[in-house]
Structure 1
Amino acid sequence: MAWVDAAVVGFDTETTGVDVGVDRIVTAAVVRRSGRTTSVTSWLIDPGVEIPAAAAAIHGITTEHARAHGRPPTDCLDEIAEVLADALRAGEPVVAFNAAYDLSLLDAELRRNDLPTLPERIGREVRVVLDPLVLDRHLDRYRRGKRKLGDLCAHYAIGDTAHLHTADVDVLATLDVLRALTVAFPEIGTMALDDLHDLQVRAHRTWAEGFNLWRTSQGMSGPGAELTWPVRLPEPVLV
């Protein structure tokens, strides 16, 4: 059976910000899709820090709401990581849009809370991961325009995007974009999963190197795009 007809497990987070080494997960969702069956599990976490107004404006979770209704990070993070580890052990690919962010942030959060990381749980590197952002950049590299999740939903005619930026809705949209990619580019649907994972590693690095050269040519400072995918090299975790 081709992987496109088997189970996949989507993952997404909403957070206090975009710094992997500092910011915290506020909500997370894991969606397992197998054939016509879809199951959704979601978590609301009290991150233990203030949720900035700018972040709350995006995902709708305020500090007060998280404190009143969220669960402790340690419990939720352990559950999330174990669900993903179970999928990877079973050979079910984990699907995440801009996977290097969500998976790296999860590992940073696990280390912050003295919990085993994904690689530690499965005893190897994290694979197989499928990232519609990396695939779309590689397969349709000359298309103009932005490539945020909403942009890809519009390009591939994926339903209503009005409720994006909630973790469960974003995961479902990500899985729909992945399916649309396999229709637009059927060759990826017949590839062996390990080969497809390795293709994305190379594709992301090629894109990141090109993006960083462009940044330099524009006189921009800062670290630029991380070269590794799907999990960034560990950064210092601030407590």
Structure 2
Amino acid sequence: MTSWHTLPRAAFDLETTGRDPLDARIVTASIVVVNGRSEILHTKEWLVNPGVPIPVEASEIHGIYTAQAQAEGIDAATAVAEISAYLADLFQTMPVMAFNAAYDFTVLDREAKRHGVAPLAPAPVIDPYIMDKQVDKYRRGKRNLSVMSEFYGVPLLNAHTSAADAAATIGIADALATKYPKLQVDPLELHGAQVSWAAEQAAGLQEFFRRKDSAAVVNGEWPVRG
């Protein structure tokens, strides 16, 4: 069987106004499509006017400030419709990678509902964050994009720009598939496995948190949180 990491595939990344996916607004979006040799075929990018002020702490991470977004960005409703349509077309023929996919696809889902756009049903999604936690459960340390790029030897230039983060996501996913052949399954099968893995990982984290806070809740829904 030819594995997904040697076939055409895409990656999706957002930069936003904040950390909470239920409330964050899209500021930039990037979708990168590569061929079976990992050569970039297409890169599609959006700069969005989120309709709300961008907090300075968010701007300092991704480099887009409110004035630029208002002057140069397209309106959020148009952007959300275009991003959703572009992804829906890709899902017809290939998997889409997203690092910590439950964040990006939940933001997109909430933005769609906020602006009256039909929500996307994302599948098959491949999430190197969830896969790494599953195949290397006991490795200590952080598992953010920068750390994992270094760990797997994947270049990450211009970190926290959505295009660079999307390209690095593909590289990390490919490295995982190469190192762990059990991940080389049909993308829809892998998608279903990640739904279960995300729920199990969240349950374990919730159990840990409840040692100090009996009311702690960790949402394990993936790739879109309810």
The bucket for the TM-score relative to the shorter chain is over 0.9
Structure 2 counterpart of 1:236:
none
Give the superposition deviation at 1:196.
1.1
Give the superposition deviation at 1:21.
2.2
Unaligned runs of 5+ in 2: none
Give the alignment's Cα RMSD to 1 decimal. Answer: 1.3
CA distance in structure 1 between the partners assigned to 2:168 and 2:215 by the alignment: 33
Give the superposition deviation at 1:225.
2.3
TM superposition score normalised by structure 2: 0.94
Q: Is residue 2:1 matched to residue 1:7?
A: no
Aligned pairs (5 A) from 1:8-157: 8-36=9-37, 37-38=39-40, 39-90=42-93, 92-119=94-121, 126-157=122-153
CA distance in structure 2 between the partners assigned to 1:220 and 1:154 by the alignment: 36
Letter in 2 for 1:61: I
TM superposition score normalised by structure 1: 0.89
Structure 1 counterpart of 2:174:
179
Give the superposition deviation at 1:187.
2.3
Unaligned runs of 5+ in 1: 120-125, 234-239
**Kept in 1: contact 2:13–2:29 (CA 8 A):** yes
Letter in 1 for 2:79: C
Q: Is residue 2:221 matched to residue 1:218?
A: no
CA distance in structure 2 between the partners assigned to 1:137 and 1:8 by the alignment: 22
Give the superposition deviation at 1:75.
1.4
User: What number of residue pairs does the alignment pair up?
Assistant: 223
Give the superposition deviation at 1:4.
2.0
CA distance in structure 2 between the partners assigned to 1:63 and 1:200 by the alignment: 36
Give the superposition deviation at 1:219.
2.6
Give the superposition deviation at 1:2.
2.6
Give the superposition deviation at 1:220.
7.0
**Kept in 1: contact 2:26–2:48 (CA 8 A):** yes
After the TM superposition, list the runs of 4 or more consecutive aligned residues in structure 1 that deviate by more than 6 angstroms.
none
